[in-house]
Amino acid sequence: MIYLDYAATTPCDAVVLQEMLPYFAKVFGNPNSLHKFGMDAKDALDIARTRVAEAINSQFDEVIFTSGATESTKIAVIRTMKSLQQAGKGRFLTLPTEHKATLTVANYLQSDGFDVEFLEVNREGILEIETLESALNDNVGMLSICHINNETGTIQDIRKIIEMCHKHGVLVHIDATQSLGKTKIDVKDLDIDFLSASGHKVYAPKGIGILFCKKANMKYLRVPRANPEVEFGIRAGTVPVCLCVGMGKAVEIANKDIEKNWQHAVKLRKIFIDGIKSQLEEIYINGSEKSNYPGIINMSFRGCEGEALMMEAKHIAVSSGSACTSNVLSISHVLDAMKVPADIAQSSLRITIGKTTTEDDIKVAIDDLVSATKKLRNMSPVWDMIKAGVDIDSVFKR
């Protein structure tokens, strides 16, 4: 079975694994211990942190290791907003297309009395600067936005977004889960306030992530009376040195290979899309044509239900943008917010390319999906209605 779900998670790189192994049993000390075992672990932790800092061009002590992007986002957004609320800046902005981790934080803030606004995106999933500017005022404390959308690959213009927010005194949290190691990120050049990312998206192990926090904003995150020797007083608990070592090495490798991996994804994306479209009609690409990460392809096979197509294509592992519960079809919240027609949105699949994906893998995926689509369409009354010119958008519930 061919794996094409790299936006969900990646395998741990063999080089990364080898780098980690000594820190499970040989160099196992607590990095806060003062004896040699602890100092050896601390040295390894420092190297890992330095590697991440160099990759994003931050200072050493602006990188906090966490369990992943979800925890990083919670720490950055909730703690900062609670501090800003006391200064009369309790309004929080985000997008309806964000990852569920950010939407959960937004819903929590809303339930806790914060003023939360979900800014509309255009048909490509992009936040237009005019929309952002109209939402900014003296009460806004923070915007949280995904750099590369995990479902569509749409890339936001975070430079312009940050400039606009800072012009109004608004802090910005960037969800870089899908962009770290895939596109160059310079936190100083972009003037990023906070950034979250997970290791398991860049061929590091699961259970490790980072939070970048600009030094001037550390005051919002520090916990009173916390041990400053443990992740600069931001996060408690014994630091998992072995996982941090893996994160540092994986980010270092990914950052060196950004251009090579990007071009690899561009090539395979074209082969895949051309191969599908040359054999099937009513195929749609969801997201931005010009501002996208090529390794994420959100494709709709109109007339097929996404999950049924995913199960019928037995030789590939991909994700579906639809879900069926209680006999009611629901569609991806991302595509819904982009106002993709419901019958197109519910037929979507997310195909994601990794650094080890080959042309042969893509050819198998094309054959598998073409065969599955033709089979399902032959059995589908919806496809018959489409071919007959019936407007079926109202059949599917948003």
Rounded Cα–Cα distance for residues 211 and 244 (Å): 12
Q: Which of 12, 146, 213, 324 is catalytic?
A: 324
Q: Residue 213 catalytic? A: no
Catalytic positions are 324
